[in-house]
């Protein structure tokens, strides 16, 4: 999908009212670094087609928008989500750097980029921001009961496809196991079928090693009971 040219007239409708994130490139025809980053943005637009819009604003032609967001240097790349600017970087950054930034800012793009892995920092950020994601743990029920991520589903590997298909528009499915090996293989297989699935890289071991919390089934049930009791009192 090609990048979209945006002006003062349609910035509101194309960027601020967009239902999906928009990466805006503030540029100018005379800017040499802008020409360097242009083909990179075209590639990113193709890679994330359907999940991210890449728009271009010529600061000389669209002075009102450039002034509104206080653009001082070009190229400036500004990411918008739900009508608000959430991040910005300046300069002609290489593709790998931009992909790393997008993965950090929008972890849910991992599946769209044909990647089947999500690392621990990305998953933590995803959950912290309340982004739609369903964690599916494919370990044995006994192991799951002892320690798992809050709210995770325990699903046998041969049943995961049915569960993922049943999620519908509820967002990204994140598969996990103890080391990440089995869940990665399964995520690749399901991704090839067009499902929005990634695996947690290095699995539960990496999550716990980073100091993030896990819960037993008993602990979750106790928390639920307390919450239910509190809502009734």
> Which residues belong to the active site?
31, 34
Whether omega for the bond prior to residue 139 falls within 30 degrees of 0, making it cis, is: no
Report the C-alpha gap between 203 and 176 in whole angstroms: 5
Distance (Å, rounded) from C-alpha 56 to C-alpha 23? Answer: 8
DSSP E strands: which ranges in 138-183?
A: 153-154, 172-176
Please state whether 171 falls in left (phi above 0), alpha (psi between -120 and 50) or beta.
left
Q: For the chain, list the strands marked E by DSSP.
A: 4-6, 22-27, 53-58, 76-81, 84-90, 117-118, 133-137, 153-154, 172-176, 197-200
Three-state DSSP class for residue 94? coil
């Amino acid at each position: 999908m090609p990048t979209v040219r945006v002006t003062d007239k349609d910035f509101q409708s194309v960027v601020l009212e967009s239902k999906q994130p928009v990466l805006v490139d503030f540029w100018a025809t005379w800017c040499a670094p802008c020409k360097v980053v242009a083909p990179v943005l075209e590639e990113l637009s193709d890679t994330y087609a359907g999940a991210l819009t890449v728009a271009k604003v010529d600061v000389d032609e669209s002075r009102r928008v450039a002034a509104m967001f206080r653009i001082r240097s070009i190229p400036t790349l500004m990411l918008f989500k739900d009508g608000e600017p959430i991040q910005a970087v300046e300069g002609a950054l290489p593709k790998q750097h931009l992909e790393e930034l997008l993965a950090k800012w929008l972890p849910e793009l991992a599946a769209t980029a044909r990647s089947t892995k999500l690392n621990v920092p990305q998953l933590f950020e995803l959950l912290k921001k309340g982004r739609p994601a369903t964690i599916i743990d494919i370990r044995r029920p006994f192991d799951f009961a002892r320690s798992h991520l809050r709210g995770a589903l325990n699903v046998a590997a041969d049943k995961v496809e049915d569960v993922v298909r049943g999620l519908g528009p509820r967002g990204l499915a994140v598969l996990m196991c103890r080391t990440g090996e089995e869940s990665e293989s399964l995520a690749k297989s399901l991704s090839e079928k067009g499902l929005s699935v990634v695996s947690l890289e290095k699995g539960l071991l990496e999550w716990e090693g980073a100091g993030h919390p896990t819960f037993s089934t008993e602990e979750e049930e106790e928390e639920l009971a307390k919450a239910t009791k509190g809502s009734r009192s």
